[in-house]
Chains A and B, each alone.
Chain A
Amino acid sequence: MAESIKKSDIIENDILKSVIIEFEQAQVKIKAFNDELRQTARLSKDGLNNVKFNSVTDINQAKIAILEANNAIKQKVLLEKGEIEVATALEQAKVKQAKAENDLNQQKARSEAITNKLTRSEQMLQSAYSRVNGWLGKLRSEYRDLAIKKELNGKLTDDEVRRMQNIEVRMTSYDSALKKVDASMGNHQRNVGNYAMAYNGLGNSVNQLTREMPAFANSVGTGFMAISNNLPIFFDEINKIKQANKDLVSQGQPVKSVFSQIGGAIFSVGTALSVGVTLLTIYGAKIVEFISTLGDEESAIKDSIESLDQRNKKLEESIQIQGMITSYYQKVRDMQLKNYELQLDDANKEEKIYKFRLKTTIEYYDNIQKELFLSEDKTANLRRKFRAEKDNEKKEEINKEIRDSELETAKLLMEYNTRNLALSIIEREGLRAREKELEDSLKKQLDLERKIEDERIKRISDKLQLDLTNTRIEANRRIEDLKLLDADEKQKSRLKKEIELTLSFDLKKIYEDYYKDLEVKAKSFYEKEINEIIKQQKAKEKALEDEKNKQKKWNDEIIQELDLHYKKINTEATNNENITNEELDKIRIENEIKQKEDELSFFKSRGEEYKSEVIKLEEEIAILKRTSRKKNEVSITKTINDVVKFGADYFIEQSNRKIAQIDKEQQQHEKAYSLYSDLAKNGNIQAKESLALENQQIVEANKKKQAELKKQAMWKLIEGGVSAYAKNAGDPNVKNPVMKTFTDITLLTQLLKTLPSFEVGTENTGTNGNGIDGRGGFHAILHPNERVLTKEQNQLIGNVSNEDLALTMNKLNSGELVKLKEGATSSVGNWQNMALISEIQDLKNIIKNKPDFKIEAGEIIQGAMSIVETKTTKNSIYSNRYIVK
């Protein structure tokens, strides 16, 4: 049996679809309502914009508008809430519907697969049944031929005799199999005349009577009371036999005696058993006593156990056989259905043949008519030709042709009339027979179709579908029966409409009943499902809570462990207070290296599989080792760095002092040189000698100064180098810090050599920059207290030389150069006048900008007198208080 699609699933899917549609409609409605509300709100707002409070009416209107706004916002909030709820519900319904649809599709696929499988099985079985039936028919035909031959000739050949015997055996076998198959489908056509196989009502009633016989063991009265219920059935059965015999007599068939049948019923197995039970009831004790005297009790029990076992075994076999038979009958039913369908095809074929014959006949009749018409036409043409022809000879020829044509027409006419007559005879004589034949064929066809329908209905498991199909088929059959009804078309049409109307009501009622029932079921189902969900949710929450508790417990344990660990560490640290942070770091790194090495050895032991892990670990260990080494180096380097820095600072300071001393001496030498120079100009010879000596002293002082500066540079270089080394030593990625430092310093030195220096100053840095900042910038060396101007500032001062700039500014600062007015300066030559003008200008400015102070008593504010101070500068007046004008 094919697995049918659950109707509840289809309904659920449909319900969900309709729910989705309803939700969508609700959304549309909410949107429309929202729009309407918005429109109203706009109007209310327009009213509020022009609100005034000049009269009571205005105030009342404002109050109404305020109330309206309050209501509007309440409605808006409700709408928003509804919108959210609908959207959520819609989403949920969509998810459920998708799931339901998916389930339904899966069920459909499964059902189709099973149906296909069953169809194939049916076809196979059907073909087997037809084959056997066909073989039986052939065998019977052959048997009949041989039998008639034997009757006519008196004897058969040896081969024929053997063949006949063989046929008998096969016929019996096939016939018995087919009979069983038919019987399984309630078709006992093959058992017509075989009354022994029919239901034996008499035997049954006698059995009922004999079953009550043990009651006579109590008393005769009880016995008769027990059988009194079954006696009427017994008498009815006797009457039935009598009636059956009468029917047989009327049909001219032999009858079976009533008494012989009663005798047969009385002496049946069931009756014998009942009599046996009665005897056992009456004489049971004595029989048992008798049996016990016959043999050993133990052997009797053993025998009874064995017999019980055998009985059980037979029962099991019987159950198995019963199962097989049931399955077999099911298959046979399917075969029968197929057979009906084939027969239906045959019925349709007969109808088609008849229609074909009729069509052929009509076509033939039409053809003759056509030929006749053509022939008559030909004759008419010839006659026209004859009349037009003047030549007598030709006329004679045409006349001959006309005669031939007339003869042919006459022949065709004769044939046409004969056909016409034959057709009318067929129609007249055959019409009735044909009608009957058609009617029979139609009935046969209807019967077969109904049998097929019945078989199909039996296969419908769904209640709704079954009810609907039954109702529809019943109505259809009533409509089909109308065709056979002796009534006019109008009446038939009216009856048909009535049937259809009744059908629609019936179907509606079936649907209503079904959905009512389904609704109740669905409600209970969803309630159950919701409860289940709540239950699951609670279980989940509980599990989550348990998990949290578990996690908390673990966390507590970890915290405890960590506490213990840190306490231990603290204790150790307290015990070893002398250990520095660097040493602790070192220990930590060593421990880490050890751990990684253990891990490495573990992975190495695993071989190729963990090669990448091994490489990774080796790299990590190398880095850790380098870090450890660097730590040592850094601590040492730091010390060296400190020492070097201290040394450098000290030596540079000393060097600076020396330079200062040299400068002082140099200045003294320069002064002396200047003095000696003046004296030498006046002709003092000693002064000339001293002049050379002083000059030499100045040169030596310069040399010493240069040497000191070089020393300072060297110390700075050393300090930088050590600092760079300390930095490189601390970087675990630098494998050789000494080499790196050396390379860095070399590069730096080379770079410094290539960089331009402005030790003597410059007015213009030129345009040869390599653009390191994208604007033509370049590296350069600058020294303390130097000045750098921008390009714009340089342009502003007219690109004058540094020397001129310094000189001008110096003069300006010393008052030698006076600023007359904005953008103009005096020449150095008449600076005295200019200074005067400048002084006058200053005085004028001072007088002009002199502030005018006024102090007066203000208002008494909070019991204290405030002083109002007013200051007038140029055209602006400043006061420390607000003044009311």
Chain B
Amino acid sequence: MFLNAWVKCNNDEIKYTRRTLTDGTEQEDVKQWEVLQNQYLERFGLPEDYQKFLMLSVSKAKAQLDYVISGKRFELNKITALEMKINSLTNKSGEEITIQKMLNHLSKMQGYTLTLYNTTVSQYFELIDTLQKQK
């Protein structure tokens, strides 16, 4: 799968899971998109930050449910603390890196032009992985 289709799917245009856009149903698209995501997870795993975010959100949900069950107000402090952690994770300052910028960077590293149309998803993420390891 080329990167272009991956980006489109991520923007809720999941018909790009099809090889031919006119060939397929929406139900099949949903199923296929799920398969693709699972393949991605299997191969590259969840990004570290996102995993942290999910874990914190789950902890916060548990704390919220604890409060609902027990009605003890000190649970609210726990919730606030977790909210602060989540906020610090989501509000990380720094320049936003788009896929295009990343492709430019990778092109420089590889010595040839990488575009959304000539790069596959696995190539892209493996190159990023390599770059991270080099750093």
A55-B37, A65-B58, A69-B60 are known; give 12 further A-B pairs, CB within 8 A: A44-B61, A45-B65, A48-B65, A53-B54, A55-B38, A59-B54, A68-B61, A69-B65, A73-B64, A73-B68, A73-B79, A76-B68
- B28 CB to nearest A CB, Å: 16
B57 contacts chain A at the CB level, 8 A cutoff: yes
How far is it, in angstroms, between the C-alpha of A602 and the C-alpha of B65 when the chains are bound?
75
A72 contacts chain B at the CB level, 8 A cutoff: yes
Interface positions of A from 68 to 100, Cβ below 8 Å from B: 68-70, 72-73, 76, 80
Given A53-B54, A56-B34, A62-B54, A48 and B61 contact (CB-CB distance below 8 Å):
yes
Given A38-B69, A48-B58, A53-B46, A72 and B41 contact (CB-CB distance below 8 Å):
no
How far is it, in angstroms, between the C-alpha of A72 and the C-alpha of B57 when the chains are bound?
15
Name the CB-closest residue of A to B66.
A45
A50-65 contact mask (Cβ, 8 Å, vs B): 1 or 0: 0101111101001001
CB pair B65 A41 closer than 8 Å: yes
Interface positions of B from 61 to 110, Cβ below 8 Å from A: 61-62, 64-69, 71, 79
How far is it, in angstroms, between the C-alpha of A56 and the C-alpha of B10 when the chains are bound?
13
* 28 pairs of residues in contact across A and B, judged by CB atoms under 8 Å: A41-B68, A41-B69, A44-B65, A45-B66, A48-B58, A48-B61, A51-B58, A53-B41, A53-B46, A54-B41, A55-B38, A55-B41, A57-B34, A62-B54, A62-B57, A62-B58, A65-B58, A66-B57, A66-B58, A66-B61, A68-B61, A69-B62, A70-B61, A70-B64, A72-B64, A73-B67, A73-B79, A80-B71
Question: CB-CB < 8 A to B68: which residues of A?
Answer: 37-38, 41, 69, 72-73, 76
How far is it, in angstroms, between the C-alpha of A808 and the C-alpha of B132 when the chains are bound?
78
Question: CB-CB < 8 A to A436: which residues of B?
Answer: none
Per CB-CB distance, the 3 closest pairs between chain A and chain B, nearest first, are: A69-B61, A41-B68, A73-B64
CB pair A69 B41 closer than 8 Å: no
Question: CB-CB < 8 A to A69: which residues of B?
Answer: 60-62, 64-65, 68
Question: CB-CB < 8 A to A80: which residues of B?
Answer: 71
How far is it, in angstroms, between the C-alpha of A69 and the C-alpha of B69 when the chains are bound?
11
Question: CB-CB < 8 A to B38: which residues of A?
Answer: 55-56
Question: CB-CB < 8 A to A53: which residues of B?
Answer: 41, 46, 51, 54
A42 contacts chain B at the CB level, 8 A cutoff: yes
Name the CB-closest residue of A to B62.
A48
Q: Which of A42, A49, A72 is the most central at the interface, judged by chain B CB atoms within 10 Å of its CB?
A: A72
Question: CB-CB < 8 A to B41: which residues of A?
Answer: 53-56
A255-275 contact mask (Cβ, 8 Å, vs B): 1 or 0: 000000000000000000000
Question: CB-CB < 8 A to B62: which residues of A?
Answer: 45, 48-49, 69
Q: Which of B41, B46, B51, B58 is the most central at the interface, judged by chain A CB atoms within 10 Å of its CB?
A: B58
Question: CB-CB < 8 A to A38: which residues of B?
Answer: 68-69
Q: Which of B57, B60, B66 is the most central at the interface, judged by chain A CB atoms within 10 Å of its CB?
A: B57
How far is it, in angstroms, between the C-alpha of A600 and the C-alpha of B18 when the chains are bound?
111
Question: CB-CB < 8 A to A65: which residues of B?
Answer: 58, 61
Question: CB-CB < 8 A to A41: which residues of B?
Answer: 65, 68-69
Given A38-B69, A45-B69, A66-B57, A56 and B64 contact (CB-CB distance below 8 Å):
no
How far is it, in angstroms, between the C-alpha of A62 and the C-alpha of B56 when the chains are bound?
12
Question: CB-CB < 8 A to B61: which residues of A?
Answer: 44, 48, 65-66, 68-70
- B99 CB to nearest A CB, Å: 20
- B77 CB to nearest A CB, Å: 14
CB pair A56 B37 closer than 8 Å: yes
- A629 CB to nearest B CB, Å: 63
How far is it, in angstroms, between the C-alpha of A70 and the C-alpha of B54 when the chains are bound?
14
How far is it, in angstroms, between the C-alpha of A59 and the C-alpha of B46 when the chains are bound?
10
How far is it, in angstroms, between the C-alpha of A59 and the C-alpha of B65 when the chains are bound?
19
How far is it, in angstroms, between the C-alpha of A44 and the C-alpha of B37 when the chains are bound?
26
Question: CB-CB < 8 A to B66: which residues of A?
Answer: 45
Q: Which of B54, B64, B67, B71 is the most central at the interface, judged by chain A CB atoms within 10 Å of its CB?
A: B64
How far is it, in angstroms, between the C-alpha of A51 and the C-alpha of B64 when the chains are bound?
16
How far is it, in angstroms, between the C-alpha of A49 and the C-alpha of B37 when the chains are bound?
24
Q: Which of A42, A55, A62 contacts B69 (CB 8 A)?
A: A42
Interface positions of B from 25 to 69, Cβ below 8 Å from A: 34, 37-38, 41, 46, 51, 54, 57-58, 60-62, 64-69
How far is it, in angstroms, between the C-alpha of A57 and the C-alpha of B34 when the chains are bound?
8
How far is it, in angstroms, between the C-alpha of A44 and the C-alpha of B71 when the chains are bound?
16
Question: CB-CB < 8 A to A66: which residues of B?
Answer: 57-58, 60-61
Question: CB-CB < 8 A to B46: which residues of A?
Answer: 53
Question: CB-CB < 8 A to A76: which residues of B?
Answer: 67-68, 71
How far is it, in angstroms, between the C-alpha of A69 and the C-alpha of B67 when the chains are bound?
10
Name the CB-closest residue of B to A39.
B69
Question: CB-CB < 8 A to B65: which residues of A?
Answer: 41-42, 44-45, 48, 69, 72-73
How far is it, in angstroms, between the C-alpha of A53 and the C-alpha of B58 when the chains are bound?
11
Q: Which of B57, B62, B68 is the most central at the interface, judged by chain A CB atoms within 10 Å of its CB?
A: B68
How far is it, in angstroms, between the C-alpha of A51 and the C-alpha of B60 when the chains are bound?
13
Name the CB-closest residue of A to B46.
A53
How far is it, in angstroms, between the C-alpha of A48 and the C-alpha of B64 when the chains are bound?
12
Question: CB-CB < 8 A to A54: which residues of B?
Answer: 41
- B121 CB to nearest A CB, Å: 15
How far is it, in angstroms, between the C-alpha of A278 and the C-alpha of B41 when the chains are bound?
123
Question: CB-CB < 8 A to B37: which residues of A?
Answer: 55-56
Question: CB-CB < 8 A to B69: which residues of A?
Answer: 38, 41-42, 45
Name the CB-closest residue of B to A54.
B41
How far is it, in angstroms, between the C-alpha of A476 and the C-alpha of B132 when the chains are bound?
101
Question: CB-CB < 8 A to B34: which residues of A?
Answer: 56-57
Question: CB-CB < 8 A to B67: which residues of A?
Answer: 73, 76
How far is it, in angstroms, between the C-alpha of A62 and the C-alpha of B79 when the chains are bound?
17
Interface positions of A from 25 to 48, Cβ below 8 Å from B: 37-38, 41-42, 44-45, 48
Question: CB-CB < 8 A to A72: which residues of B?
Answer: 64-65, 68
How far is it, in angstroms, between the C-alpha of A344 and the C-alpha of B79 when the chains are bound?
84
- A123 CB to nearest B CB, Å: 67
How far is it, in angstroms, between the C-alpha of A565 and the C-alpha of B71 when the chains are bound?
59
- B58 CB to nearest A CB, Å: 6
Question: CB-CB < 8 A to B60: which residues of A?
Answer: 66, 69
Name the CB-closest residue of A to B73.
A80
How far is it, in angstroms, between the C-alpha of A57 and the C-alpha of B38 when the chains are bound?
9
How far is it, in angstroms, between the C-alpha of A55 and the C-alpha of B68 when the chains are bound?
29
- B45 CB to nearest A CB, Å: 9
Q: Which of B64, B65, B66 is the most central at the interface, judged by chain A CB atoms within 10 Å of its CB?
A: B65
Question: CB-CB < 8 A to A55: which residues of B?
Answer: 37-38, 41
Name the CB-closest residue of B to A76.
B68
Question: CB-CB < 8 A to A44: which residues of B?
Answer: 61, 65
Question: CB-CB < 8 A to A73: which residues of B?
Answer: 64-65, 67-68, 79
Question: CB-CB < 8 A to B79: which residues of A?
Answer: 73
- B81 CB to nearest A CB, Å: 15
- B25 CB to nearest A CB, Å: 19
